[in-house]
Structures are given as C-alpha cells and as structure tokens.
Amino acid sequence: MRRRSALIAALATALCAMPVALAGSGADPGVSPTTILIGGTSPLTGPAASYATVARGAQAYFDSINAKGGVAKRTIEYRIVDDAYNPAQTVQAIRRLVEQDNVFAVFNTLGTEANLAIRDYLNQVKVPQLFVASGATTWGRDAAQYPWTIGFQPSYAAEGFVYGQYIAKTQKKAKVGVLFQNDDYGKDLLASLKSGLARSGSKVVAAEPYQVTSPDVGSQIGKLKASGANVLAIFATPTFAIQAFVFANRLGWRPLVINNAVSATSNTMSLASEGGKNKSIEGTISTTPLKDPLDPRWKNDPGMKQYRAILAKYAKGANPNDANHLYGMAVAHETVALLKRLGASPTRVGLMAKARSITGAGNPFLLPGISVKTGKGDNFPLQQGQLQRWTKGRWVPFGGLWVSKRN
C-alpha cells in the first residue's frame, strides 16, 4: 500500500520541474538588447547577515543608474541569492546563476571561503568573478592562475602591514597584544602586522584568538592586559570590536588601540564609546578608503549627498549610517564605469580585460585622492587608505594617504 505513494511522488516531482530558460544567441550570456544580468550571493540570513547591506547598497545604486536609462541603453539587473554564509550553498547558488539564469558575470560575492569554493569553477567555465567582497590576498596575487577572478578592497595583508609600520615608526619598544578572529581574515591581519613590525624594537607579545561562536571576548582581553601589552590591536568584526573596547575600559586598561577597518565606521565606534563613558577608545588608530557617513566633513559633499539620496529612494528603510551600504555603492559605481567602457556589445572577455586596466577616474564614495586602479602587474583595485585617529567622538585623518607596496 505504502509503495503506491511513490508514484504520486514521481508525478509531483515532475510538476516541480521547470523548463530551463534558453540563452540568447549571438551576444554573451546575460546580455540582451535591453538588459544586462549580473548576480552574486550574499548572506541574507545566518551568522553574517549584517553584511547583507553591502548587496543592498549596490542594488540601490544600480537601480538609480537604471532610472537614468542604464548603461548603453541596457538596464542592469542584479540578482542576489542568499547563501546563509555557507560555502556549500554558495556553490549551488552560483551554479544556478551561471547555468540556469545565465548571468553575464558573478558580482561581489561575499566571504573568503565562499569565493574560494567557487573560484575554480568560475575560471573553468570562464565567467567573470568580479570584485570579490573579501580582503584575502589571493584574489590579486594569484591573478595569473585565475584570470577570471578579481578582488576589490585593500587586502587585509596590506592593512595589517600599514598598522605594523605605523607602530614601528611612532612607538619605541611597543608591546603589542592582538585580539583576532580565528580564521583567514584575522590570521592575515596578524601575520602582516608582524611583518610590518619586523626589525623594529616593537613586537607582538600576545595574540588571543576568538571564535565567532563565542558569546564574548572578556577572557581574551583580560589575558592581553595581563601580558603587559601597551598596544592593543583589534582584528575583529564590529560586535566583537565593540566588546573589546567595553572590556578594556572595564579593566581600566588604556593602551594605544589599533582597530581594523572592518569595524572602524563611526557607527561602530560611537556604540563602543558607550555614550562617551568609555575611556579606552580615545586616540584609537584605524584606516579606511571610504568616506564616513557620520562624519560632518561630508555633510555637503556631492558624493555623500548622492549616497543618501539614492539610499532613501531605492532602499527604503535602510540605515545610511551603516557604511556597508556605502561600500556596496562604491563597488557598484566601479562596475557601472566598467560597463560603460565596454560599450554597446559587452563580452565577458572584454569585461575582464577592462577590469584589469582601470585608470582610476575617481569614485564619489571614496576619500578624495583615493582611486581604483589596476594595470599590468597590478591586480589589486584598491590599495590606498587614510590613517585616522578617533578624537573626541569622530575620526580625524592624519599623515596623508598610504599606498600599499606589498600585498
């Protein structure tokens, strides 16, 4: 009796199946006379959902371009698929985007592991893996082996090196304690901080990892203080960075703090300042390539006005102080610039060629003087940043732009 249901199962399975869309002929997949389709995964759910706003910012920017007629009379359709920050799901979603939805390019997929999981596949099928949203060094370094993959933001290695050099130059015999996330991101920053410190009198005296599954980092901060460190480097995501400031303050610890760019938005910093009561936060050093949404300097800046206007119109309810939106827009802006340079008949080969020869026409969402550049032997689009110091509740830039010489 029970077996009969197998037949019904079979019928239902057949009903669920849907016909596959046929690719257009002539042009590369994803390009029709009126649209150009790109896609990527983003963690809409799960542990990394706070980064989903990157994709939302990019989406809003594309919508604003489409409202003005798109690029070369084509509107840009950006398809976002949730991968819950699980690389196995990323693989499925990306194959779906490539093989079923026929995207022109995979755009700004988020997460180091997620991108590692799909890189070999995308390079085999020759689909651009454009502007990867991860700071691992491999995206730029291994361009020869993976010609279809290109990163975007400054690598964690470049960032860590800059902090190391800053400490080496300004501190004598500093003892550095490091709080780092126990994965590739945290370890990259730690290793490059050490190489930036090399041959100076300063050194890392303690490095405490934390797991993303830990509720708090109180124990780690206690151990770092006990190590006798007088510099605290925080290589942690916003929630844990805020905790690090809170716990350091509770312990009455006032080291020089270095806070990584991931957690250095004014939004995060002002939360960590506990309404001005936190005494460990003053004088914190960080770096960023982006304008800061909360910084009064940009109140009348055209780029930031545009940012707020686009977000208000095309991402209703989005919080403009969340700088992930801004990052998303900066990437989307570069993508639109690439598509414009591609002209009337875009091809995947052409896209990658253009992505490897960006001349840096300026990006309204990046700090003045910072531009996106690639060229022969240079496969890192963003390599500059601005050192800044947290002073009386806001970031104050100092020391000019740095350019990473090593990645």
Partner 1 sequence: MTPRTTRIVGFVAFAAFVVFVAVLPTFIGDFKAREYSYVGIYLIALLGLNILTGYTGQISLGHGAFMAIGGYTTAILMAGNEQFGGPIPSGMKDVWTLPIAGLVAGLVGLAFGIPALRLSGLYLALATFAIAVAMPSTAKRFEEFTGGGSGIQLFGTPELTGSISNVEIFGLSFSPNDWMYYLAWSIALVAFAVAWLILRGRTGRAFRAVRDSETAAVSSGVSLARYKTLAFGISAAYAGVAGGLFAIASAFVNPDAFPVALSIYLLVGIVVGGLGGLSGLVFGAIFIAFLPLWAQGQDLGSLLPDRIIQETQKPGGPAMVYGIVLILLMFVIPNGVGGLFRRIGQLISSRRYSRAK
Partner 2 sequence: MIVAAFSDFMQQVVSGLASGGIYALLALALVIIHRSTGVINFAQGEMATLSAYIAWTLTVNHGLSYWPAFVACLAISFGGGVGIHRVVIRPVERGSVLRIVIVTIGLLVAINGFVIWQWGGEPQQLRSPFGTDTYDVGGVIVAAHDIGTIAVALGIVLLLWLLFRFTKVGLALRAAAVNPDEARLVGVRVTWMLALGWGLAATLGAVAGMLTAPTVGLDPQMMQAVLIYAFAAAILGGIDSPIGAVVGGLLLGVLLNMLSYLSQYDAFGWFTEELRLPAALLIILVVLLVKPTGIFGKPEVKRV
The pair of three-digit structure tokens given for residue 117, joined into one six-digit string = 């999981």
Quickly list H helices, 319-362: 323-342, 348-355
Amino acid making up residue 189:
L
> Does the footprint of partner 1 cover residue 117 (CB under 8 A)?
yes
Q: Of 375, 349, 339, whose CA–CA distance to 61 is shortest?
A: 339
> Does the footprint of partner 1 cover residue 92 (CB under 8 A)?
yes
Residues 348, 354, 357, 358, CA torsion sign? negative
Residue closer to partner 2, measured from CB, 222 or 399: 222
Least distance in angstroms from the C-beta of 289 to partner 2? 19
Q: Which does 384 bind (CB under 5 to 8 A by kind): partner 2, partner 1, none?
A: none
Residue closer to partner 2, measured from CB, 274 or 282: 274
> Does the footprint of partner 2 cover residue 268 (CB under 8 A)?
yes
Q: Which of residues 173-192 bind partner 2 (CB under 8 A)?
A: 182
Conformational region of residue 84, where left means phi above 0, alpha means psi within -120 to 50, and beta covers everything else: left
**How many CA atoms, within 13 angstroms, populate the side-chain half-sphere of residue 129?**
33
In which residue are the tokens 């490095």 written?
207
Which residue among 73, 126, 169, 250 contacts partner 2 (CB under 8 A)? 250
Three-class SS state of 37: strand
Binding mask 214-243 for partner 2 (x = CB under 8 A): xxx-xx--xx-xx-----------xx--xx
Query: What's the rounded Cα separation, in Å, for the pair 35 and 93?
Result: 21
Least distance in angstroms from the C-beta of 122 to partner 1? 10
CA distances from 77 to 104, 241, 251, 264, 333 (A): 10, 35, 51, 31, 14
Residue closer to partner 2, measured from CB, 51 or 298: 51
Radius of gyration of the chain (CA): 23
The residues that touch partner 1, with contacts defined as CB under 8 A, are 1-10, 12-14, 16-20, 44-46, 49, 52-53, 56, 80-82, 84-89, 91-92, 95-96, 99-100, 112-113, 116-117, 120-121, 124-125, 182-184, 211, 213
The residues that touch partner 2, with contacts defined as CB under 8 A, are 45, 47, 49-53, 182, 208-211, 213-216, 218-219, 222-223, 225-226, 238-239, 242-243, 246, 249-252, 267-268, 271, 274-275, 277-278, 318-319, 322, 324
